[in-house]
Amino acid sequence: LKNLLVGVVVIAVLALGTFLLIQSKNFKNNSEKKVSVSQNSNNVTDSNKSSSAEAVSELTITYTKDGFSPETAVIKANGKLTWMNSSDSEIQIGADPHPSHTGNREGTDESFVLTLGPGESKTVTLEKKGTFGYHNHLSPSNSVTIEVK
C-alpha cells in the first residue's frame, strides 16, 4: 500500500510539474506575441507619421557609409537644414544635377559643393519653395530629395 501511495504522489508531482511547465511556456509565448504586436503597431504609427510628411522647421540629414538618411524630407520655407557627416570620409554635397550643380544652391551654402569632413556638420537656411535634389559629389548615386513648402 505504501508503494502505491508513493507511486500516486510521484505521478501527481510529475503531472503538476508538466502542467506548470506548459503554463510558463504559454505565458512566454503570449508575452513574446504581445511584444511583437506592439512593435508592429509602433511601426505602423511611425510609417503613418512619415507618409503624412509634416513639414518641419528644423531638419537634420545625416550621411553615413550607406548614404543620406532620410533620403526624402519635407521642410518649411525658411527652415533650417543641418547636414551631418557621420561617415568616416569626407563628403562634398552638391545640388542636382551632377556634375554641374545648377540646382538650388541654398542647400550647399551657395557653393559648388559643401565639403564636410568626418563628424562635421553645417546648417543652412532653405528659403525657396520647391523640390530639390542633392547628392554627394564624390559618390553621386547617394542622393537626397528635399521638399521646401
Interacting residue ranges for Cu ion, rule: CB under 5 A: 94, 98-99, 137
Q: Collapsing DSSP states into helix, strand and coil, what is residue 136?
A: strand
User: 10 Å Cβ neighbour count for 134?
Assistant: 26
| CB-nearer residue toward Cu ion: 105 or 137 | 137
| CB-nearer residue toward Cu ion: 73 or 137 | 137
Minimum CB separation of residue 84 from Cu ion in Å reads 19
Q: What is the spatial distance between Cα 33 and Cα 143, in angstroms, rounded to a whole number?
A: 38
Minimum CB separation of residue 135 from Cu ion in Å reads 6
Minimum CB separation of residue 59 from Cu ion in Å reads 21
Residue 76: φ, ψ to 5°: -70, 150
| CB-nearer residue toward Cu ion: 56 or 133 | 133
Q: What is the spatial distance between Cα 48 and Cα 42, in angstroms, rounded to a whole number?
A: 10
